[in-house]
Structure 1
Amino acid sequence: MNYPLPEGFSVAIDPSTRRVNARTLVGGSPPRILRLTDVGQQAWSELARGPAHSHNARVLGRLLTDVSAAHPRPNATCEPPKVTVVIPVRDRPQSLKRCLASLRYGHPIVIVDDASVDPTAVAELAESFGARLIRRSTCGGPAAARNTGLKAVETAVVAFLDSDCVCVDDWIGRLIEHFADPLVAAVAPRIAALPSSTAAGRFATSSGALDLGARECRVMPGAAVPYVPTAALLVRREAIDDIGAFDERLRFGEDVDLVWRLHRAGKLIRYQPDVRVLHAEPADWASLWTRRFQYGTSAAPLACRHPEAIAPLVLHPWPSAVLVCLLARRPLIAALIVAVTAVPATRGWRRSGVPTRVAAKIALQGVFQTYCAVGRYCTQFGGPLLLLALAWRGGTKTFQRRRRTAAAALLFAAPLRAAFSGEMQPDPFRFLVGHLADNMMYGAGVWFGCLRHRTLIPVRPKVVGPRRLPAVGIPRRFNKRQQRS
């Protein structure tokens, strides 16, 4: 985007962004090379010192934040817009009471009762907390309830909040500053699981379905955070009016659809994980896996609406070939592939100013990320076949050993990566088994949705060209003409 950051914004460089020399940066999501002109280096120096005031620094700040090589830090002196909280609910009065009690900052609240069996309990809570109550006569699901609440919102920003959430931070006050940027349409906190005493609940605290991790990011398909849920989400009301409200035909995935439509319209969505909202996860394994199955069923209708955004597996030629050879226990062939394909690629990166050690590290990360992605994909959509490959005794002993090694490597790729990146709860064994079952139940839901909607887009891998870092340069027009402005 050519629209510069608002004056007074600062940026925080992402921890994964490397400045390999005076003119070259490597970073972003997906990763890329950024080359700075002379004026770009001056703009970088201004950004490093503090708030951006010059036009050049603001343009560079926009470029860096748009690719997630850096993250915007708004000017806190700006007057924040007014916010109305919309809470859809159907029964669960105890959860609603806990949610309302955690909202302590005086924002107007609209509660939408989606045809509760016991509407009196919800009405009493709305009255006791000074919230406006809107009751629907028929249950239409979360999308319909949120749309009903939207019609009653008169403020510039709406905060969607699920009734089973607990606000531990002033998440609205901390995220609302981002709307000083007119291009920002939505901002999301990190959705962490509420502490639980059950084994399934403790597993959810370490591997919650709504927890999108600790990496701050611009939200868009293909990025580290491709979507955000509306369990807790700030959205500019005008942006929703431009693209249309929630699709009420979707019982699951209506929040992903809204976020992707915002992105398609050229809006910015930010994810700020240092701000948290807690969410109640199922307390038993059956409910936990049922929810994962239901989430999986949303992939097919989303694919029908956003086929370009659905990619369960992205394969790059040479990392995939290396992985196949390693799984087949052919390390020499894998080394040959690296020599033939990866070495020329790293030479191209070196010509762009990327040192050999950095290029080699990126290449190895590509193989590892491909391994984890293929393992997760195979577990989700072919988990029973991998388990069968482990148990089947057919073939020679050498073939059995290789088959079982490959199957085990694929099955435990995603669980082991999750284990090394966080705490294993409730214990290592149940964490690994729970992770496998979680992936398989999600994949079963995806297959169910594919059969129902007669599409294979949600399970179809995407093969792209040779893996390389896309180069993003500061345009030549960023030089003298803009330097004078």
Structure 2
Amino acid sequence: MQLSVVIPSYNQPETVQRCIVSILEQDFSGTYEIIIADSSDKHKQDELAAFCATIPKVQLISLKEQTFPGSARNIGIKAAQGEVIALIDSDCVAKPNWLENIWENMEHNVILTGVIENGTEDSVYGTCSFLVEFNHFLDFSGHKVPAHAAATCNFACCKEVFDKIGYFTDDRAFEDMLFCKKFTDQGGQIFRINGIRIAHLNKTDLAGIRRNQTMLGKFSAIVRRAHGMPPQLVFKLPILAFALAKFRYLSIFSRVIRSKYWAKFLLYTPVILYLLLHWSKGFYTGAKRS
């Protein structure tokens, strides 16, 4: 087996089915399997099981209780037979040459990621969510550039990397950034490959996006604090977390200005600042947590 595609799933049977179909339609002649680690409610597990039962390439692992994405991925990775592990999320759609580009560019002691495209172009809120969360993975010129991290919705490495580094922590979020830090601290390299592309189907309701950003900020702080990651000054003075909204806005703008989204970013600034303030609120909660 050359590749194992691992997908964590929770209460999104229709979305994960769309993700599975995008992988089955890949322009890849090699051998691969799809492993779903699903912790959905019983009736939704049954719906997904009925869909997967007719597809030989799919192995469905039904979990008995809701499981955070990192732990669900660990379960799938441990069951995988492939030499290379490719991770994608259930709310993503893989581009037709996703697996081919992963396989052609894979090296030992390397993590590959790529471009994350906006799957909700027609939604103002969906686009704002996309720009706040995935601005590090916008389209770029050239074929290959170094990166400091890889999002687990578009992530690939040799299975031996997990033997060396270990697996993802059981944190609700930011577990992928922590894994990447451990990997690079031990001499690994991360690269973005232009052809490794997925589209992310973002939330489009403002309340849901706001809650998600608050959660992401909270766990970013919890994981950073637990593992001695910056910004240490904020952990001593948690109120400074709210200053991070302005810093993140300018940081995101420095990347977006080079993309096709620069005009929308400026136009949507009030919404983006609103989301960043809720991210900072979550970071404040996580930073002051004893």
TM over 0.5: yes
Partner of 1:271: 192
- Counterpart check, 1:119 vs 2:45: yes
CA contact (8 A) 1:190 1:211 kept: no
Q: Distance in 1 between matches of 2:195 and 2:129?
A: 19
Deviation at 1:447, TM superposition (A): 0.7
**Offset of residue 420 of structure 1:** 3.5
Letter in 1 for 2:47: A
Q: CA deviation at 1:417?
A: 4.6
Partner-residue secondary structure (3-state), 2:80: coil
Residues 305-350 of structure 1 show CA distances to partners (whole Å, capped at 9, x for unaligned) of 442x53499xxxxxxxxxxxxxxxxxxxxxxxxxxxxxxxxxxxxx
Change (3 A) 1:427 1:193: closer
Q: Which has the higher contact order (CA 8 A, sep 6+)?
A: 2
Aligned to 2:153: 231
Amino acid at match of 1:288: I
Which residue identity is paired with 1:218?
P
Instruction: Give the match's secondary structure for 2:204.
Output: coil
Q: Given residue 172 of structure 1, which amino acid in structure 2 is its aligned partner?
A: L
Counterpart for residue 221 of structure 2: 300
Give 2:156's aligned amino acid. Answer: L
TM-aligned CA distance change 1:411 to 1:143, over 3 Å: closer
% identity of equivalent residues: 21
1:78-103 CA distance string (max 9 Å, x none): xxx81111111112111011111111
Q: Which residue of 2 aligns with 1:439?
A: 276
> Mind listing any 5+ residue stretches in structure 1 that lack a counterpart?
1-80, 220-225, 314-377, 387-409, 455-485
Q: CA deviation at 1:120?
A: 0.9
Q: Aligned pair in 2 of structure 1 residues 188, 412: CA closer, same or farther (>3 Å)? A: closer
Corresponding position: 1:146 with 2:73: yes
**Please, which of 126, 129, 146 is the counterpart of residue 218 of structure 1?**
146
Query: Which residue of structure 1 aligns with residue 211 of structure 2?
Result: 290
Q: Is contact 2:8-2:73 (8 Å) kept?
A: yes
Shift in CA distance, 144/438, structure 1 to aligned 2, threshold 3 Å: same
Kindly indicate whether the alpha-carbon contact (under 8 Å) linking 1:88 and 1:142 is maintained by their aligned counterparts in 2: yes
Summarize the Cα distance change of 1:209–1:229 in structure 2 as closer, same or farther, 3 Å threshold. Answer: same
CA RMSD, Structure 1 to Structure 2 (Å) = 2.9
The answer on 1:134 being equivalent to 2:56 is no
SS in 2 for 1:210: helix
What is the rounded CA distance, in whole Å, between the counterparts of 2:76 and 2:222 in structure 1?
Answer: 24
- TM-superposed CA distance for 1:236, in Å, is 1.4
SS of corresponding position for 1:108: strand
- Whether contact under 8 Å (1:83, 1:155) holds in the other structure is yes
Between the two proteins, the alignment pairs up a number of residues equal to 273
Task: Give the secondary structure class of the aligned counterpart of 2:164.
Answer: helix
For 2:231 and 2:139, locate their aligned partners in 1 and report how far apart those are by CA, in whole Å. 22
Say whether 1:257 aligns with 2:172. Answer: no
- TM-score (normalised: structure 1): 0.51
SS in 2 for 1:202: helix
2:12 counterpart residue number: 92
Query: Partners of 1:280 and 1:114 in 2: how far apart?
Result: 20
The CA deviation string for residues 13-38 of structure 1, in whole angstroms up to 9 with x for no partner, is xxxxxxxxxxxxxxxxxxxxxxxxxx
Matches of 1:267 and 1:415 in 2, distance apart?
26
Cα deviation digits, residues 377-400 of structure 1 (max 9, x gap): x9962389x9xxxxxxxxxxxxxx
Task: Return closer, same or farther for 1:415/1:132 CA change in 2, 3 Å cut-off.
Answer: closer
**For 1:22-171, what aligned pairs fall within 5 Å after superposition?**
82-103=2-23, 104-105=25-26, 107-117=32-42, 118-130=44-56, 131-171=58-98
| Equivalence for 1:381 | 242
